[in-house]
Amino acid sequence: MMLHIPQVLSPDQVAELRALIDSAEWVDGNATSGRQSALAKRNLQLAEGSDAARAAGARVLDALERTPMFVAAALPQTVFPPLFNRYGGGHGFGVHVDNAIRQTRDGRTRIRSDLSATLFLTDPEAYDGGELQVEDTFGVHSVKLPAGDMVLYPASSLHEVTPVTRGERVSSFFWIQSMVRSDERRALLFQMDVAIQQLAARVGAGEPELVSLTGSYHNLLRMWSEV
């Protein structure tokens, strides 16, 4: 399931984050790549584990916790510390699949990447190109979102970032290990959760049928989750 999550960060929060990272040290993006993706990748990345990356990453994690749609869709077990990248001057990232296992440099966090996320930190009008293109069984989806918005997609997907031909594209990207490993099951739970919330808003959460449906949601989650 691919999902657009709007307004994870407000315009003010985006501006603050950009001020924090724009003046920091950026290094060759291949610092975090696997061997195959290193061949395809041309971008810059905020030095992993630097003070700026840590402070900015903490802000992104805070924002995620306050975003119910993210929690409902990702059912996060562990979120990898957010990283930041910057594409300009023809930079792009050819078709690749993200590594299945991600580990931080200090070895403290190791996750299975079930979901990939890109949080856009530049408004689309400020650059040309730089579309995130994600392949699934329905074809290729092209994603370019307003600053502060995020896309969530299965980490198993082939994807690429097309070359940026004008301006610069700055984003945060990271991976999530979910409590529910299967994308299909997560999608089902998310659809059920959204329907229950909408129905509850209309008829009141205390209706017996809604209590029963909510119970079914939790019992499915109990059956499918690993925590």
In the complex, the smallest distance separating the C-beta of residue 142 from Ni ion, rounded to whole angstroms, is: 15
In the complex, the smallest distance separating the C-beta of residue 79 from Ni ion, rounded to whole angstroms, is: 16
Please, which contacts does 130-133 make with residues 24 or more away whose CB atoms are closer than 8 Å? 130/87, 130/92, 130/161, 130/162, 130/163, 130/164, 130/169, 131/161, 131/162, 132/159, 132/160, 132/161, 133/159, 133/160, 133/161, 133/162
In the complex, the smallest distance separating the C-beta of residue 109 from Ni ion, rounded to whole angstroms, is: 18
Q: For residues 80 and 189, which CB has a smaller minimum distance to Ni ion in the complex? A: 80
Q: For residues 98 and 149, which CB has a smaller minimum distance to Ni ion in the complex? A: 98
Out of 14, 98, 152, 175, the residue judged to bind Ni ion by CB under 5 A: 98
Interface stretch with Ni ion, choices 40-48, 91-99, 131-139, 186-194 (CB under 5 A)? 91-99
- Region 164-183 residues binding Ni ion, contact defined as CB under 5 A: none
Query: Per the structure block, which two tokens stand in for 85?
Result: 């990248």
In the complex, the smallest distance separating the C-beta of residue 168 from Ni ion, rounded to whole angstroms, is: 19
Could you give the CA distance from residue 128 to residue 189 in angstroms, rounded to a whole number? 36
Query: Per the structure block, which two tokens stand in for 25?
Result: 């040290």
193 sits near Ni ion (criterion: CB under 5 A): no
In the complex, the smallest distance separating the C-beta of residue 172 from Ni ion, rounded to whole angstroms, is: 13
- Region 21-80 residues binding Ni ion, contact defined as CB under 5 A: none
Q: How many residues bind Ni ion (CB under 5 A)?
A: 1
Could you give the CA distance from residue 164 to residue 85 in angstroms, rounded to a whole number? 13
Q: For residues 98 and 131, which CB has a smaller minimum distance to Ni ion in the complex? A: 98
Could you give the CA distance from residue 227 to residue 25 in angstroms, rounded to a whole number? 36
Query: Per the structure block, which two tokens stand in for 178?
Result: 């979910």
What phi and psi values does residue 117 have, to the nearest 5 degrees? Answer: -135, 140
Q: For residues 98 and 183, which CB has a smaller minimum distance to Ni ion in the complex? A: 98
Q: For residues 98 and 193, which CB has a smaller minimum distance to Ni ion in the complex? A: 98
Q: For residues 110 and 218, which CB has a smaller minimum distance to Ni ion in the complex? A: 110
Q: For residues 151 and 180, which CB has a smaller minimum distance to Ni ion in the complex? A: 151
Q: CA torsion, points 4, 81, 171, 130, in degrees to nearest 10?
A: -80
Q: How many CB atoms are located within 10 Å of the residue 204 CB? A: 9
In the complex, the smallest distance separating the C-beta of residue 106 from Ni ion, rounded to whole angstroms, is: 22
* Residue, CB closest to Ni ion: 98
In the complex, the smallest distance separating the C-beta of residue 85 from Ni ion, rounded to whole angstroms, is: 10
Number of H-type helices and E-type strands within the chain:
6, 17
> Which residues of the shown chain bind Ni ion in the complex (CB under 5 A)?
98
